[in-house]
């Protein structure tokens, strides 16, 4: 990735594209090209254009036609009207097409007669669309690993305990629907949520004030300025209510592109803030695997990683309570003061008075590092030669001059950076690549 600034001239069905570079080992310069901001696999979105390529009018017209043909069958406003008509139907006439993932009105039954569908869609099902819809499972684009009830309830309790009354839910449909459902059932519940998500299917269940079709990889609002204004109004301070952004991006997504969009949402919040808040940063929970910590801190140096293990209903491995490498690696990154994030003691978390934060029971404080160093929940050990704590299964290798698994293959040659071949940095931070 060369630039996180979307190109308005190169547009695919998922909005403006981003600028990338093809690199070859040992070569400082590579040829730049535009590609889809969200899809890393060409079979998901085949948009490709060299930066210096001249595109004919015929090809541009064909591209515009392709983009139009790949838009949803109904607009958000049409879906809202369809929902109003759907809830007026008796239970026996409420059908949902599983193949098209669409609520059906009686006049549309014939068109979907050879499809599988669900009948007698209840009000409870309509309030829990993440359980009605099939989860999207492209890990790099729109993977929907939905929060388990344990994690969802913990996040909501934490948000309310911290005094937040508005939640900008970016790619967190399960949290959004939990807030929506609780607000409709409990009169005293004051938390509101706005869902920003690339999955347009949610427009069937939420109004234009509750959901915005949004691509978090290029900060693109599919609804244009109207949707952008909806988000801006939601972020605006109202009667002193505090707002927090909670995001759970696809784990295979580009961290740089995500960080660029999140900073733009933060800037949008800052524009709505009153005077005297210029030095403040919009509170945020970024939910991501712990092994991306260095990348996240590269863009948000003030962030801290919490030890809380986030688990998911529909992920085979990311489950709380498992041990070793099978436990969930997903954590909460936040710009809030770590001591404010109270983790449940009954789940094995404890407060470290030295670090002034809650940590997992296996995360023991290292007196040499002066920190609770474990990242994965196991107790790590300090290596005097490496001058840092390492995983318990690692041992110091004199050939590699670092700690690694005992049965690892020693690196006999070191090629250095993939781009320029020099040692001391990786491709992502190569000075030969221009960065925006």
Cα separation of 423 and 414, whole Å?
8
pLDDT score of 434 more than 50:
no
> Whole-angstrom Cα distance, residue 280 to residue 34?
35
**Residue 327: pLDDT band with limits 50, 70, 90:** confident
| pLDDT, position 321 | 55
Q: What is the mean pLDDT of residues 208-226?
A: 96
Torsion (CA) 401, 406, 411, 412 in degrees, nearest 10: 90
The beta-carbon contacts of 360-366 under 8 Å, at least 24 apart in sequence, are 360/307, 360/309, 363/307
295 vs 290: CA distance, rounded Å: 10
The pLDDT of residue 272 is above 80: no
Domain range 149-361, CATH class: alpha beta
The helix/strand/coil state of 142 is coil
Encode pLDDT of 373-406 as tens digits.
Answer: 999 888 999 999 999 999 999 999 988 889 999 8
DSSP assignment string, 174-241:
HHHHHHHHHHHH-TT---EEEEEES-GGGGGTS-TTTEEEEETTTTEETTHHHHHHHHHHHHS--TT-
Q: Per-residue confidence at 413, pLDDT binned at 50, 70, 90? A: very low
Entry pTM: 0.88
Q: How many residues are recorded in the chain?
A: 436
Q: Which of these ranges, 105-109, 124-128, 325-329, has the smallest mean pLDDT? A: 325-329
Quote the mean pLDDT of the chain: 87
Q: What is the pLDDT of residues 132-165, one digit of tens each?
A: 998 876 545 555 678 999 999 999 999 999 999 9
| pLDDT reported for residue 142 | 53
What pLDDT, on a 0 to 100 scale, did the predictor assign at position 435?
39
Task: Encode pLDDT of 277-286 as tens digits.
Answer: 556 889 999 9
CA distance 137 to 250: 9
pLDDT digits (tens, 9 = 90+) for 341-353: 999 999 989 999 9
Task: Kindly state the average pLDDT of the residues 20-43.
Answer: 80
Residue 371 binned pLDDT confidence (cut-offs 50, 70, 90) = very high
């Amino acid at each position: 990735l060369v630039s996180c600034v979307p190109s308005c001239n190169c547009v695919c069905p998922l909005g403006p594209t981003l600028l990338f570079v093809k690199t070859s080992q040992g070569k400082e310069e590579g040829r730049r090209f535009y590609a889809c901001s969200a899809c890393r696999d060409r079979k998901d979105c085949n948009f490709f254009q060299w930066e210096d390529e001249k595109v004919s009018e015929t090809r541009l017209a064909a591209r515009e036609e392709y983009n139009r043909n790949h838009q949803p069958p109904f607009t958000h406003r049409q879906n809202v009207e369809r929902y109003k008509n759907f809830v007026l139907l008796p239970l026996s006439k409420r059908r949902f097409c599983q193949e098209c993932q669409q609520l059906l009105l009686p006049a549309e039954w014939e068109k979907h007669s050879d499809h599988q569908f669900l009948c007698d869609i209840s009000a409870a099902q309509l309030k829990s669309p993440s359980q009605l819809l099939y989860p999207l499972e492209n890990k790099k684009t729109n993977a929907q690993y939905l929060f388990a009830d344990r994690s969802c309830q913990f996040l909501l309790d934490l948000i309310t305990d911290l005094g937040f009354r508005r939640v900008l839910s970016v790619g967190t449909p399960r949290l959004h629907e939990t807030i929506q459902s609780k607000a409709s059932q409990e009169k005293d519940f004051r938390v509101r949520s706005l869902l920003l998500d690339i999955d347009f299917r949610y427009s069937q269940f939420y109004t234009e004030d509750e959901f915005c079709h949004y691509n978090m990889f290029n900060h693109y609002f599919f609804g244009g300025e109207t949707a952008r204004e909806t988000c801006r109004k939601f972020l605006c301070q109202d009667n002193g209510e505090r707002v927090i952004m909670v995001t759970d991006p696809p784990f295979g997504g580009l961290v740089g592109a995500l960080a660029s969009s999140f900073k733009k949402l933060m800037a949008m919040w800052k524009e709505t803030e009153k005077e005297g808040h210029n030095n403040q940063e919009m509170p945020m929970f970024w939910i991501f695997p712990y092994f991306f910590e260095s990348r996240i801190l590269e863009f948000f140096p003030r962030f801290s990683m919490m030890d809380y293990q986030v688990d998911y209903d529909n992920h085979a491995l990311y489950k709380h309570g498992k041990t070793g490498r099978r436990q969930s690696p997903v954590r909460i990154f936040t710009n809030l003061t770590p001591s404010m994030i109270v983790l449940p003691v009954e789940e094995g978390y404890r407060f470290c008075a030295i670090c002034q934060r809650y940590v997992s029971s296996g995360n023991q404080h290292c007196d040499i590092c002066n920190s609770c160093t474990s990242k994965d929940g196991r107790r790590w050990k300090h290596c005097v030669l490496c001058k840092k704590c390492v995983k318990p299964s690692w041992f110091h290798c004199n050939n590699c001059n670092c700690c690694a698994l005992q049965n690892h293959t020693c690196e006999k040659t070191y090629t250095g950076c993939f781009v320029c071949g020099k040692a001391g940095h990786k491709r992502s931070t190569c000075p030969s690549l221009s960065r925006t």
